[in-house]
Structure 1
Amino acid sequence: MATCRPAGSYGIDAPAVPRLWVGLAAASAAAGAALAARVRRPWAQPLGTLLLLGALGNAAGAAVHLHTSVRGKFQLWSDLLDDGAPAPARVLDIGCGRGAVAIMTARRFPGAHVTGVDLWHTADQSGNSPDAAARNASAAAVTDRVRYVTADMRELPFSDASFELVTASLSIHNLPSPADRRRAVREVVRVLAPGGRVAIMDIQHTSEYADALREAGLDVEGPRDAGWRGWWTGPWMPTQVLRARA
């Protein structure tokens, strides 16, 4: 499948994770090679082989994470946005980062105006900043329909019923407590217009979001596993997809 990534530079999600796995791979490889060379110690070569195999596994985990960050998540969002539902006129993307989903949404719905909100933490996405997001909107030729606002998803600076579609990509889980996450979901419901839709992808807590959306009276689909394109280092950390309608 061809990549659905729009023009621009979108960084790496949770950049410390692949760096950690690459570091573990390098350390395991060095230790394994040193042990495997100690031919006079009968225990050294088998242990060295195990460490070398571990290094390969760590390197593979880093590669899987990077693939999902630079390719897989774009394909998943392309599928999620292309669901045949009526085109929205006003869209909100919470935790927008460098603008990937906001820009993809603007390109998918040429009549839509998209607002992205973020607090621009670089631990969540490398190089995260409003300037980086603005440059990506320019590279994708959607500057006239995408804007970015510095705001906390727990206290959105928008009126009730302002958006027909609200999206969140790998963002709500970064909030520190269940109460914070529930507060963010309540804000999503508050700014959602009657008949509007919610589309969320995240790596954890999606059942919490689903429960909060149902309690607010929305029809909820999911969460469901997005499959291998959404693995973060491996199948033990999959992306979950959740949809809802007011």
Structure 2
Amino acid sequence: MNQTGKTHVKQGIDAPLVPILYLITGVGVLINWAMAHAYPTAWVTLIFGIVMFAGGLTFFHTSLRGKYTIWRGIMDKLTIPKNAQVLDLGCGHGAVMIAFAKRLGVTGHATGIDLWQQRDQSNNGVAQTQANLVAENVADRTTVLTGDMTKLPTNNAAFDFVVSSFAFHNIKPKEHRAVALSEAVRTLKPGGRLIIVDTEHNDREYRMALQDLGLKDIEVKSAGFNGWWSGPWMSSYIVQGVKAE
């Protein structure tokens, strides 16, 4: 993902089984309706099949295109110094980290951390991400680490931006997410900005936790259609806050 929205990054599908199940269910229901729809409530079956099939397509849109549009919109509103230090939590294939790295100078650096779990994103791994960094010509100002978001292998107050794209909701239970949020704030420099894009209706939880951690200028807003993981019932949101100086 670059400033024009184009990318050469080899992307994975988030939670790959989910959209496949949506599509299979939708097709199965629609076939059933087509073969036997001479009953009073057949219209309900038709609507359900359409919703499931459309949900699968929408999921693929968000995973392959929508979430990158969300981040491009966020970054276009930021002032990113050329020497900024950036930490990407749950970096996956590195698209967000790469987008930041492309806006940095020779003294800037972007670091990505992930546990590389296939269930969270298909074909997820260190080698794949490093290959993307090379392909996008940012390997000289990026680093990829294997690490747990609840125990970050990073120094205190080391980063100007700590960002995370659809990773926090994978941390269970709530208490562990609180620890991960605390770790994210710990690594921020005073005046640094935390940006989380996520799903699963945890936005109020994040706001309250970040308030308790002392962040200021906290903003929570919907990510819109580009963040629908099947439909508006599974939407996404953007959480931002600044560490007090």
Counterpart among 136, 141, 152 of residue 140 in structure 1 = 136
* Stretches of structure 2 lacking an aligned partner (at least 5 in a row): none
After TM superposition, the score normalised by the length of structure 1 is: 0.91
For 1:39, the equivalent position in structure 2 comes to none
Q: CA deviation at 1:222?
A: 2.3
Q: Which moved more, 1:212-221 or 1:14-23?
A: 212-221
Q: How far apart, in 1, do the equivalents of 2:213 and 2:43 lie? A: 55
Counterpart among 198, 212, 231 of residue 234 in structure 1 = 231
Q: CA deviation at 1:30?
A: 2.1
Any runs of at least 4 consecutive aligned residues in structure 1 with deviations exceeding 4 A, and if so which?
46-49
For 1:80, the equivalent position in structure 2 comes to 74
Q: How far apart, in 2, do the equivalents of 1:33 and 1:84 lie? A: 51
Alignment of 1:193-208 (within 5 A): 193-203=189-199, 204-208=201-205
For 1:161, the equivalent position in structure 2 comes to 157
- 1:5, 1:71 within 8 Å by CA — same for their partners in 2? no
Alignment of 1:2-13 (within 5 A): 4-13=5-14
- 1:18 corresponds to which letter in structure 2? P
Alignment of 1:117-128 (within 5 A): 117-128=113-124
Counterpart among 127, 130, 152 of residue 131 in structure 1 = 127
Counterpart among 111, 114, 118 of residue 115 in structure 1 = 111
- 1:210, 1:220 within 8 Å by CA — same for their partners in 2? no
Alignment of 1:217-228 (within 5 A): 217-228=214-225
* Stretches of structure 1 lacking an aligned partner (at least 5 in a row): 37-41
- 2:80, 2:104 within 8 Å by CA — same for their partners in 1? no
Secondary structure of the structure 1 residue equivalent to 2:30: helix
Q: Identity rate of aligned residues, in percent?
A: 37
Secondary structure of the structure 1 residue equivalent to 2:97: helix
Q: How far apart, in 1, do the equivalents of 2:22 and 2:218 lie? A: 34
Q: Does 1:54 align with 2:55?
A: no
Counterpart among 89, 96, 104 of residue 99 in structure 2 = 104
Q: CA deviation at 1:6?
A: 2.0
Secondary structure of the structure 2 residue equivalent to 1:84: coil
Q: CA deviation at 1:219?
A: 0.8
Q: Cα deviation per residue 1:17-75 (whole Å; 9 max; x = unaligned)?
A: 10110111121022112213xxxxx52xx544543332222111111111111111111
